[in-house]
Amino acid sequence: MTLFLLVLLAALVFEYINGFHDTANAIATVVSTKVLTPRQAIIWAAFWNLLGALMGTAVASTISSGLVDASAVNMTTVLSALLGAIVWNLLTWWLGLPSSSSHALIGGLCGAALATAHNDWTKLIWAATDAKGKHVGLWHKVVLPMFSSPMIGFVGGALLMLLLLALLRKMRPRIVGLIFGKAQLISAGFMGYSHGSNDAQKTMGIITLALFAGTKAGHFDNLPSWLSFLHVTDKSHVPHWVMLTCAITMAAGTAAGGWRIIRTMGHKMVKLQPVHGFAAETTAAIIIHGASTIGVPLSTTHVISTSIMGVGASKRLSAVKWGVVERIVWAWVLTLPVTGLLGYGMVRLLRACGV
């Protein structure tokens, strides 16, 4: 039980960090275009994050049952995965890099499961189909979206921006600014909702996986009857209390803000106006919402970042500060392998400490 409480604490810390680490996903553009003040934008994003986090569990089911074999997961595995992801998130937050919290958690889980299984790579689910005939596994749910979603974000952002420019070419810039200053409130809210519907569910999935592992190992057998809610026999089913706890924690983290990353995404990559912010947020929100619906644990960071790049590139390629983009891409490339190693190392370290 003590180990589970450590896992739960680490999961909530990760969720809170995820909230302030990824605040920029939802509000960087609306702040940089001066449609809302930072304080107003954070409150707006936190509200929609909370609402989105309560709308569905498809992504949570992918994390808890679709990436690693349950036989390679115990409490130590889950704790190690979370610790590896937390370390990476804090490092990239400190450096102001919008890296993927999703990939940090997935990388940590895969590395920790591999260490638990004594380097048995077959315990990682690469590609398979579930009982309903749907594709599961790292290839379909992580690797393909990791490459396709940034490309879709970049192209989608550029195309939507070009379409808007064509439709608005005869309208005065002042009128365009007024219209999209209001419209960006909607797109920022949609982005916050989509972010909550995808990112909050990842921690729901990891807590459910820990509950399933604890139930299977008998850790909860001698607890009082009022703690029976801890028993989980189906790792694809997320308990309601887990959903609510994760949603509130992510919203609280979002409310804490993440100013370093906001500056990178909202100011350093490309100079934005309200119409550009609307195009980037709308493009990203549609992609993320679609992924949440089919259970893909998408990197919301990748999608909004490349949507902003696409919008900037629609003006001219030189409008994007590619030096900053290069730093971001390196963070993307390194996240999975580094967190995999961190998760693997954490299992070995905890074992050495007798955990």
Whether residue 259 has pLDDT greater than 70: no
pLDDT score of 309: 86
Angle at Cα 158 formed by Cα 156 and Cα 161, nearest 5°? 105
What is the pLDDT confidence band of residue 271, given thresholds at 50, 70 and 90? low
Q: How confident is the model over 167-197, as pLDDT tens digits?
A: 998 888 889 888 998 898 899 899 889 988 9
> With 0-12 CB in 10 A as exposed, 13-18 as middle and 19+ as buried, what is 167?
exposed
User: Would you list the DSSP string of 6-52?
Assistant: HHHHHHHHHHHHHHHHSHHHHHHHHHHTTSS-HHHHHHHHHHHHHHH
In our burial notation (b when 16+ CB lie closer than 10 A, e otherwise), range 139-158 reads: ebbbeebbeebbebbbebbb
pLDDT score of 123: 94
Whether residue 268 has pLDDT greater than 60: no
Whether residue 312 has pLDDT greater than 90: no
> With 0-12 CB in 10 A as exposed, 13-18 as middle and 19+ as buried, what is 259?
middle
Average pLDDT of 284-306? 89
**pLDDT above 70 coverage of the chain, percent:** 91
pLDDT score of 41: 80
Q: How confident is the model over 67-107, as pLDDT tens digits?
A: 999 899 999 999 999 999 999 988 887 877 767 888 999 99
pLDDT score of 113: 96
pLDDT score of 35: 79
Q: How confident is the model over 223-258, as pLDDT tens digits?
A: 888 888 899 988 888 999 999 999 999 888 887 766
The CA distance from 292 to 79, in Å, is 25
pLDDT score of 128: 82
pTM: 0.86
Domain positions in the chain? 2-352
pLDDT score of 258: 60
Whether residue 285 has pLDDT greater than 60: yes
**pLDDT above 90 coverage of the chain, percent:** 44
Residue of 307, 328, 319 whose CA lies nearest to 151 = 307
Q: How confident is the model over 114-171, as pLDDT tens digits?
A: 999 999 999 999 988 877 777 889 999 999 998 899 899 999 999 999 999 999 988 8
